[in-house]
Structure 1
């Protein structure tokens, strides 16, 4: 919820800037806008309790998990349907995260590493006139996150095996802006809130104990870079 509030605040700030205008760029039907830059995924983790064979491990002091942030190369493609509406696909190089334990088994520390890709499709609205240099936008759409390369840290490989994180479908909200430097080149900043939920499962070495933890990641994704219009 707090990340949605952050995103709403950014959208208000973008809207407040709508009085700024210029005469450099023009977004029209058929334009393709490519944006690239540094993209950071910052999870806002809400973890369930770790369970073993269906029962919470040490209910008096349950174990939860946390996930760190990561920055990679972000890339997005927007196709303009007309001067005010566009469809964007967000992509990136794979994000890498470390999973660590909290609570009862906090002593395990950094438990595992995992990679993910979060392709996101959004419908965008550009409220400014097509010829304005400053082009704020908001968007809403759907995200698909796929997890892969799940691997326990070397000091835990003798204790656990078969780590798997379920893929996720969820809502995505977006706000951002382009500022044109020339007819084709500009700078861009954007932020997304993405609903990502997953279930992590793994086993003891003999397979007799099956562990499970449900996690809401719900990250903010920030990207700053350049855009180019074709």
Structure 2
């Protein structure tokens, strides 16, 4: 008798409890959390490309540090399993450093730059939408807008000026997972690889009038984000 009552009570509780249902066609998903851009920053050597020393190879390479900001995702489900997603974030800021160049004054912190990396992707959720755990994969296109390049005080005192970096188009790939806490609220974790290539240039009339150096940088960061999401 007691076992029958316990079984009946559990069955009634299961019926009464809300199911954490995942995604349906037409759902809008908003996610927010901490997002870190970790550049690999493989670069060419630093070369003089303008001025009387044009063609001089200064050697060395450029590096960039990590930065963490507020990340945002906006997704729209085309079907129960396929959606389109836009990645946005507050502006990232990175230190740009030069090391190993033949021009000693160029080594060290060159300056800082900011960028915004909007990325539009198609994402695929392979599991049935009744599962509260929803892993996914995605691929898309990234545009990285680089702006607000500023030289360090050390670089300025060494005669450098007019620090610039080019914007970038590239492919982006991602893996991630949502875990539905309720029918609308979810935990999210994701990792991306984004193809970002830029060319940075800087001038130095103190070396010789009209001198400009360039370096090609494969930023190619891994991007990590953890946060919460809400399904509308």
TM range (shorter): 0.7 to 0.9
Gaps (5+ residues) in structure 2? 1-18
Q: Which residue of 2 aligns with 1:28?
A: 24
Q: Within 5 Å, which residues of 2 pair with 1:89-104?
A: 89-104=86-101
Instruction: Work out the CA distance in 1 between the residues paired with 2:173 and 2:100.
Output: 32
Instruction: Work out the CA distance in 2 between the residues paired with 1:180 and 1:136.
Output: 11
Q: Is the 8 A contact 1:49 1:56 kept in 2?
A: no
Instruction: Work out the CA distance in 1 between the residues paired with 2:64 and 2:124.
Output: 32
Shift of 1:28: 0.6
Provide the secondary structure at the position in 2 that maps to 1:175.
Answer: strand
Q: Is the 8 A contact 2:22 2:180 kept in 1?
A: no
Q: Taking structure 1 as reference, are residues 185 and 103 closer, same or farther at Cα in structure 2, changes over 3 Å only?
A: same
Shift of 1:57: 3.1
Instruction: Work out the CA distance in 1 between the residues paired with 2:32 and 2:104.
Output: 38
Q: Which residue of 2 aligns with 1:220?
A: 222
Q: Which residue of 2 aligns with 1:186?
A: 186
Q: Which residue of 2 aligns with 1:177?
A: 177
Q: Which residue of 2 aligns with 1:133?
A: 132
1:106-140: per-residue Cα shift (whole Å, max 9, x none)?
76211110000000000000011112100110000
Instruction: Work out the CA distance in 2 between the residues paired with 1:25 and 1:165.
Output: 46
Instruction: Work out the CA distance in 1 between the residues paired with 2:31 and 2:77.
Output: 14
* 1:165 and 2:165 aligned: yes
Provide the secondary structure at the position in 1 that maps to 2:22.
Answer: coil
Q: Within 5 Å, which residues of 2 pair with 1:1-230?
A: 23-53=19-49, 54-58=54-58, 62-104=59-101, 105=103, 108-158=107-157, 159-205=159-205, 208-230=210-232
Instruction: Work out the CA distance in 1 between the residues paired with 2:21 and 2:46.
Output: 52
Provide the secondary structure at the position in 1 that maps to 2:192.
Answer: strand
Instruction: Give the aligned CA root-mean-square deviation in angstroms.
Output: 1.6
Relative to the length of structure 1, the TM-score reads 0.86
Gaps (5+ residues) in structure 1? 1-22
Provide the secondary structure at the position in 1 that maps to 2:154.
Answer: helix
Q: Which residue of 1 aligns with 2:3?
A: none
Relative to the length of structure 2, the TM-score reads 0.85
Instruction: Work out the CA distance in 2 between the residues paired with 1:186 and 1:106.
Output: 52
Give aligned pairs, total. 206
